[in-house]
Amino acid sequence: MRTPVTAPSQGELERQNGFMEKIAEINRKKDRKPRFFINTFGCQMNAHDSEKLDGMLRKMGYEPCADEKEADFVLYNTCCVRENAENKVYGNLGFLKHAKKENPDMKIALCGCMMQQPTVIETIRKKYRHVDIVFGTFNIYKLPELIMTNIESSSPVFDIWDNYADIVEDLPTVRKFKYKASVNIMFGCNNFCSYCIVPYVRGRERSRRPGDILSEIRALAADGVKEVMLLGQNVNSYGRGLDEDIDFAGLLRMVNEIDGIERIRFMTSHPKDLSDRLISAMAECDKVCGHIHLPFQAGSNEILKRMNRRYTKEQYLGLVDRIRTAMPDIAITTDIIVGFPGETAADVDETIDVVKKARFNGAFTFIYSKRTGTPAAEMPNMVSEQDAKANFNRLLDAVNPIVEELNQKKVGNTYKVLVDGVSSDPALVTGRTDDNTLVHFKGCRELIGDIVDVKITDSKIFYLIGELQ
Ligand code: 5AD
Ligand code: SF4
């Protein structure tokens, strides 16, 4: 059932709280606490949604477990940006069918971007009948009600909305880290880049009110959070459509005033909307980190046009210049796609030219994946896998030496590092510099959550080695 929703969901949180209490009551009567396992695919937006799902499940009396085979409630929060993310979900679901035979009481739930596609829902209904609950990106707050409906009806529950109703504030959330947290500032995307499925599965752009965002961050700061990551598909258009007269630059300045917050990060910026006001705000706000993720996707103007990115290679490089002039030490990272329909080796040369001129501190590189329903899926001249791979490798050969060289330059300097966790080598801890570079150094887990001085002694392609000062 696809339910178009128009009515705002006033009081929805209280309603869901009611379901949470009822389910907690049911779970209290069981011999042991039921266990849950959440598998999150995709981006930070999904990771943050999973923190909310985790919070709700705990409130309903479930406890987390590390092995999905042991779980009574398995939840996949899915991604559909590229095909391989979807294939993984289908593969895992096959495996879960066997696990469910061993434990017939196991409940399997699916949510996230992939579920917003009607073809996926059809496939699940036909081929994956062992799935119990399916919902989408607009109604994650309804998890308690959907579990209750499934308990009462003991039949599969599908609840996918085509659009959002209201932004439901104040869901219980379990943060993965005590000292850093993600905060949604907006949802959805209006850009319709021609290769991208996101606008179809996450809906139109809508901003949260600044008051709600600021009070959430104040509460996080009071709870020991030092670093916030402001999340949105396109943060640079924050504020459009709100009654308040505010833009992203204004929001950053307000967050910068919050006591207790020491670092502010944000993701993702679209180059076409990045204003000089934002560059000034970044340069002037002492807590805003010296890093910007600024996807450019392709260097050829023809490809950019067909991608509907609405900037040229020259405009992108001009923007990089303006950012570096205002903040000479800033790290710039990016996303790049190769193999877009019709892309030639000469087009990829243009992409490599941008890489060499912009000198990125890091790049996420992707081979184009055809997404049904997007304009690019209808475009002619699909690039063969072989050509795409060859171009992809050429691109990596351009990206990696620059990343390595920029990291190498940091050797000998001392940076403030927010310690994140223990490394795979238990004698080492890991953390991030202000410009988001990963650093490993000798230290104990008591340092986790502290911001410490670390002198860089060595560099690898993707991380630095240092010594605690
Ligand atoms: N194929 C490959 N990469 C894609 N991205 C988005 N859609 C696709 C696609 N169809 C990449 C873009 C975007 C990042 C999150 O994922 O580079 O910035
Ligand atoms: Fe997709 Fe483009 Fe929106 Fe990013 S800005 S989510 S690439 S449509």
- The verdict on the CB of residue 297 being under 6 Å from ligand 1 is yes
Q: Ligand 2, residues 44, 79, 80, 193: which to mutate, most atoms within 8 A of Cβ?
A: 193
Q: Distance from the CA of 176 to the center of ligand 1, in angstroms?
A: 26
What is the rounded distance in angstroms from the CA atom of residue 220 to the CA atom of residue 223? 5
Atom of ligand 1 nearest to the CA of 295: 18
**What do you get for the CA distance between the two ends of the chain, in Å?**
59
Long-range contacts of 354-359 (CB under 8 A, 24+ apart): 354/296, 354/299, 354/313, 354/316, 354/317, 355/299, 355/395, 355/398, 355/399, 355/402, 356/398, 356/402, 357/317, 357/320, 358/296, 358/316, 358/317, 358/320, 358/332, 358/334, 359/332, 359/402, 359/406
Please tell me the chain's helix, strand, coil percentages from 3-state DSSP, rounded to the nearest 5. Answer: 40, 20, 40
- The pLDDT score that the predictor gives to residue 5 is 37
Kindly write down the DSSP assignment for every residue of 232-254, as one continuous string: -TTGGGTTTT-SS---HHHHHHH
- The pLDDT score that the predictor gives to residue 424 is 87
Q: Distance from the CA of 295 to the center of ligand 1, in angstroms?
A: 10
- The verdict on the CB of residue 189 being under 6 Å from ligand 2 is yes
Atom of ligand 2 nearest to the CA of 268: 4
Ligand nearest to the CA of 307: 2
Ligand nearest to the CA of 193: 2
What is the rounded distance in angstroms from the CA atom of residue 52 to the CA atom of residue 309? 32
Alpha helices, H only, 68-171 = 83-102, 118-127, 143-153
Residue ID of nearest Cα to ligand 1 atom 6: 196
Q: Distance from the CA of 83 to the center of ligand 2, in angstroms?
A: 16
Residue ID of nearest Cα to ligand 2 atom 4: 233
Residue ID of nearest Cα to ligand 2 atom 1: 196
Q: Distance from the CA of 365 to the center of ligand 1, in angstroms?
A: 9
**CB distance 327 to 283 below 8 Å:** yes
- The verdict on the CB of residue 351 being under 6 Å from ligand 1 is no
- Strand order through the sheet with 291-293: 291-293, 331-338, 362-367
- The verdict on the CB of residue 297 being under 6 Å from ligand 2 is no
DSSP assigned state of 424: S
Using the structure block, give the residue that is written with the tokens 């294939």: 87
What is the rounded distance in angstroms from the CA atom of residue 161 to the CA atom of residue 96? 26
**CB distance 236 to 248 below 8 Å:** yes
3-state secondary structure of 431: strand
Using the structure block, give the residue that is written with the tokens 């119990």: 132
Q: Distance from the CA of 366 to the center of ligand 1, in angstroms?
A: 7
Q: Ligand 2, residues 195, 205, 270: which to mutate, most atoms within 8 A of Cβ?
A: 270
Which pTM value belongs to this model? 0.91
Using the structure block, give the residue that is written with the tokens 């990963």: 438
Q: Ligand 1, residues 79, 81, 340, 351: which to mutate, most atoms within 8 A of Cβ?
A: 81
- The verdict on the CB of residue 248 being under 6 Å from ligand 1 is no
pLDDT average per 10 residues of sequence, the chain (469 residues):
41 90 96 96 92 96 95 97 95 93 94 94 96 94 95 92 70 83 93 95 92 96 97 95 95 98 97 96 98 98 98 98 98 98 98 98 97 96 97 98 96 97 92 97 95 97 94
Q: How many CB atoms lie within 10 A of CB 385?
A: 10
Using the structure block, give the residue that is written with the tokens 């003991």: 154
Q: Structural domains in the chain?
A: 12-159 (3.40.50.280), 175-289 (3.30.750.210), 295-406 (3.30.750.200), 414-468 (2.40.50.140)
Q: Dihedral of CA 456/293/338/349: which sign?
A: negative
